[in-house]
Amino acid sequence: MKAFVKLVFCLIIIVSCRTEIKKNQVAEPLNKEKKEVIIISRSTYYNQLYGFWLGQSIANWTGLVTEMDKIGNIGELKTGDFYTRDDWGKPDQPSIWGQGVPSNLSPTIDFVFRDSTDVWGADDDTDIEYMYQYLMNKNQTSRLTPQQIRAGWLKHIKGEEENYLWVSNQKAFDLMKQGVLPPETGSPEKNEHYDMIDAQLTTELFGFFAPGRPDIAIKIADLPVRTTASQEAEYISKFYITMYSLASLNKDKTISERIHWMADKARNVLPDSLYPAKMFDYSRKLYELGLPWEQTRDSIYYRYQVQQKDGYDITSRNLYCNGCFAAGINFASSLVSLFYGEGDLKKTIQIGTLAGWDSDNPTATWGGLLGFMIGKNGIEETFERQFSNQFHIHRTRQNFPNEGMDNFENMAQKGLMVTDRVIIEEIGGVLNEDKNTWEIPIEIKYD
Residue 10 has pLDDT above 50, yes or no: no
The pLDDT value given to residue 6: 44
Q: Domain segments of the chain: what residues?
A: 36-442
The pLDDT value given to residue 97: 79
Class level of CATH domain 36-442: mainly alpha
Residue 11 has pLDDT above 70, yes or no: no
Residue 9 has pLDDT above 60, yes or no: no
The pLDDT value given to residue 445: 60
| Tens-digit pLDDT profile for residues 303-335 | 999 999 999 988 766 556 777 788 999 999 999
Angstrom CA distances, 230 to 48, 226, 238, 309, 326, stand at: 30, 6, 11, 20, 12
Q: Share the mean pLDDT of the chain.
A: 90
| Tens-digit pLDDT profile for residues 31-75 | 334 579 999 999 999 999 999 999 999 999 999 999 999 998 777
Report residue 104's pLDDT band, with 50, 70 and 90 as the boundaries. confident
Rounded distance, CA 190 to CA 174, Å? 11
Report residue 166's pLDDT band, with 50, 70 and 90 as the boundaries. confident
For the residues 372-396, what does the mean pLDDT come to?
98
Q: What is the β-pairing status of strands 437-442 and 36-41?
A: antiparallel
Rounded distance, CA 49 to CA 43, Å? 10
The pLDDT value given to residue 115: 95
The pLDDT value given to residue 447: 54
Orientation angle between helical segments 231-246 and 360-383, nearest 10 degrees = 10
Residue 411 has pLDDT above 90, yes or no: yes
For the residues 390-402, what does the mean pLDDT come to?
98
The pLDDT value given to residue 30: 29
Three state DSSP letters for the chain: CHHHHHHHHHHHHHHHHHHHHHHHHHHHHHHHCCCEEEEEEHHHHHHHHHHHHHHHHHHHHHHHHHCCCCCCCCCCCCCCCCCCHHHCCCECCCCCCCCCCCCCCCCECCCCCCCCCCCEECCCCCHHHHHHHHHHHHCCCCCCCHHHHHHHHHHHECCCCCCCCCHHHHHHHHHHHCCCCCCHHHCCCCCCCCCECHHHHHCCCHHHHCCCCHHHHHHHHHHHHHCCCCHHHHHHHHHHHHHHHHCCCCCCCCHHHHHHHHHHHHHCCCCCCCHHHHHHHHHHHHHHCCCCHHHHHHHHHHHHHHCCCCCCCCCCCCCCCCCCCEHHHHHHHHHHHHHHHCCCHHHHHHHHHHHCCCCHHHHHHHHHHHHHHHHHHHHHHHHCCCCCCEEEHHHCECCCHHHHEEEHHHHHHHHHHHHHHHHHHHHCCEEECCCCEEEEEECCCCC
Angstrom CA distances, 300 to 64, 117, 332, 364, stand at: 22, 41, 7, 21
Residue 294 has pLDDT above 60, yes or no: yes
Q: Which comes out higher in pLDDT, residue 437 or 79?
A: 437
Q: Are 348 and 370 in contact (CB under 8 A)?
A: yes
